[in-house]
Amino acid sequence: MLSFTGSRSFAIDLGNNNTLLTDKEKILLSEPSYIVFNDNHSVKAVGEEAYSIFEKSHDALHPVKPLRGGVIADYQSAGKMIRMLVDKVYSTGFLSKGFDTIITGVPYHTTQVERRAFRDALDQFNSRKTNLLFEPLAAAIGMDLDIREPEGKLLVDIGGGITEVVVISLSGVASFQSLKVAGDTFDEVIRDYFRKQHNLLIGARTAEQVKKTIGGVSAALKNAPLPMLVKGKSLAEGIPMSVEIRYEELVPVLDKPFSEIEAGIIHTLQHCPPELAADIYKSGVYVTGGSALLHGVKERLERTTSLPVHIDAHSLTSVSRGISKALRDPKYYQGVLIEA
Ligand SMILES: Nc1ncnc2c1ncn2[C@@H]1O[C@H](COP(=O)(O)OP(=O)(O)OP(=O)(O)O)[C@@H](O)[C@H]1O
Ligand SMILES: [Mg+2]
């Protein structure tokens, strides 16, 4: 048991890469959204442990990442993964009594069927009420932005599987763009680059580590990170090999996916009503999600949008902070809570 909570309600940010559980006050658990099954369908590992063995398994193990592009792609595995993670927080006795309210984040640009999948995955918990909250709105609440006022705000959530760009006003979304370009895409282009440019095969976890350590989107950067030694397997000889990579070398590699995100921001601005555009001209762009932590995001977006850019200081937790606040004060946030 990681922690105990007396609250009969919880909130979940079931992300493409990370799942966070919160109650009304605090984060109860944060683990990677991964699960590994044994041959007989029993669970070998979940969360952090599953991520650590993900690309190191053998034929008798079946690793699954249940979400793709920010939505549930494997229903059964998602349901099982959530169950195992919730079990880490609550005792069986506590769970058997059921819950008062569960709130789950869902991406804004989702179909009814995709939203239903999130709700169905939570049905197993016997909750009196289940609410959905759109993730970009939750992120804005988590960043302490007043989403109810008429002043428009531009929020960009760059997660693992999806990037959502929204203009928020009066508790609603006035303009948006949703892109399946996010953290996973950055990892893929890094893997591709090492294979093609350096004849080095690297795993997805190594690619992610490289990105987190020296990945950036702005060439001219003060305090750029130091070069990094990347270990993998030689494409030609099949033996272990390492290559040193500099920050500047990776910037053009990440440029294409990041340019798509940038284009999404510009498109959203172009399609938002003029009064809201005038507000955003003053307030600027709010950026959150784990991929907001890439080096140079602020510098680059300030250059391309000519707007002030605010990077969330706790980008990995904005959605769960927001849904936790909504759990605390459902009356105040009733305009954005959707009955599931
Ligand atoms: N320091 C960092 N630099 C760059 N990327 C990072 C850093 N830390 C985390 N990330 C990336 O952030 C992504 C995860 O972010 P986040 O937890 O916001 O996504 P998610 O909520 O799981 O996914 P989604 O919102 O798409 O459903 C991963 O791709 C991860 O590699
Ligand atoms: Mg997210």
- Given a contact cutoff of 8 angstroms between Cβ atoms, the answer to whether 332 and 322 are in contact is no
String of DSSP letters for 9-35? EEEEEE-SSEEEEE-SSSEEEEEES-E
- pTM value surpassing 0.85: yes
Atom 21, ligand 1: residue with shortest CA distance: 15
Q: Per-residue pLDDT tens for 126-147?
A: 999 999 999 999 999 999 999 9
Q: Is the pLDDT confidence value at 308 over 70? A: yes
Residue 205: the pLDDT is 95
CATH classification (class only), 183-253: alpha beta
Surrounding ion ligand 2 within 5 Å at CB are: 15, 159
Q: Which CATH architecture has domain 145-181+254-311?
A: 2-Layer Sandwich (3.30)
Reduced to 3 states (helix: H, G, I; strand: E, B; else coil), residue 142 is helix
126-to-11, 166, 328 alpha-carbon distances in Å: 14, 33, 20
Fold held by 9-139+318-339? Nucleotidyltransferase; domain 5 (3.30.420)
Report how far residue 122's alpha carbon sits from residue 125's, in angstroms, rounded to the nearest whole number.
6
Indicate the DSSP class of residue 65.
Answer: -
Indicate the DSSP class of residue 221.
Answer: -
Structure-token pair, residue 228: 């990094």
Which ligand approaches the C-alpha of residue 138 most closely?
2
- Given a contact cutoff of 8 angstroms between Cβ atoms, the answer to whether 99 and 128 are in contact is yes
Task: Return mean pLDDT, the chain.
Answer: 96
Report how far residue 175's alpha carbon sits from residue 189's, in angstroms, rounded to the nearest whole number.
29
Structure-token pair, residue 110: 């989702």
Report the pLDDT averaged over residues 262-283: 97
Domain boundaries, the chain: 9-139+318-339, 145-181+254-311, 183-253
E strands present in the chain = 9-14, 18-22, 27-32, 35-38, 43-46, 61-64, 67-68, 71-72, 99-106, 127-134, 153-158, 163-169, 172-179, 200-201, 228-234, 240-245, 285-288, 309-311, 338-339
Testing ligand 1's pocket by substitution, the residue of 143, 211, 217 carrying the most ligand atoms inside 8 A of its CB is 211
List ligand 1's pocket residues with C-beta within 6 A.
15-18, 70, 159-162, 182-184, 208, 211-212, 215, 289-291, 293-294, 316
Q: Per-residue pLDDT tens for 56-97?
A: 889 999 999 999 999 999 999 999 999 999 999 999 999 999
Per-residue pLDDT band for 6 (boundaries 50, 70, 90) equals low
Report how far residue 12's alpha carbon sits from residue 4's, in angstroms, rounded to the nearest whole number.
16
Residue 57: the pLDDT is 82
Answer yes or no: same fold for 9-139+318-339 and 145-181+254-311.
Answer: yes
